């Protein structure tokens, strides 16, 4: 994965395909992302990738520290 993330002013792609009331800020970078409801995640796809790279593929919990 060498694709750099877009600027945080760009919403996560998931935010473009979910209902507007399910959108919230990423817990790490504050980018708009599909945060709530079914399929939501407190981290945007970019931070998800970073977390996975840092901690390995078997991590199920995220710290919410900034
Ligand atoms: Zn993020």
Domain ranges of the chain: 13-55
The stretch 14-34 carries a mean pLDDT of: 96
51 CA to middle of ligand 1, Å?
Answer: 10
24 CA to middle of ligand 1, Å?
Answer: 11
Q: Please give the helix or strand (H or E) that residue 49 lies within, else none.
A: helix 45-55
Write out the residues surrounding ion ligand 1, Cβ under 5 A: 26, 28-29, 31, 44, 47
pLDDT in tens, 4-16: 788 999 999 999 9
8 CA to middle of ligand 1, Å?
Answer: 8
Distances (CA, A) of 32 to 12, 53, 55, 58: 6, 21, 23, 26
Rounded CA separation 65/35 (Å): 17
Distances (CA, A) of 9 to 6, 31, 32, 47, 63: 8, 6, 8, 14, 23
User: Could you tell me the pTM of the whole model?
Assistant: 0.71
- The tokens describing 57, both together, are 């593929």
């Amino acid at each position: 994965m060498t694709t750099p993330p877009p600027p945080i002013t760009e919403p996560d792609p998931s935010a473009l395909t979910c209902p507007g009331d399910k959108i919230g800020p990423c817990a790490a970078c504050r980018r708009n992302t599909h945060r709530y409801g079914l399929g939501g995640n407190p981290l945007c796809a970019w931070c998800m990738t970073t977390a996975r790279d840092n901690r390995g593929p078997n991590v199920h919990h995220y710290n919410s520290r900034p």
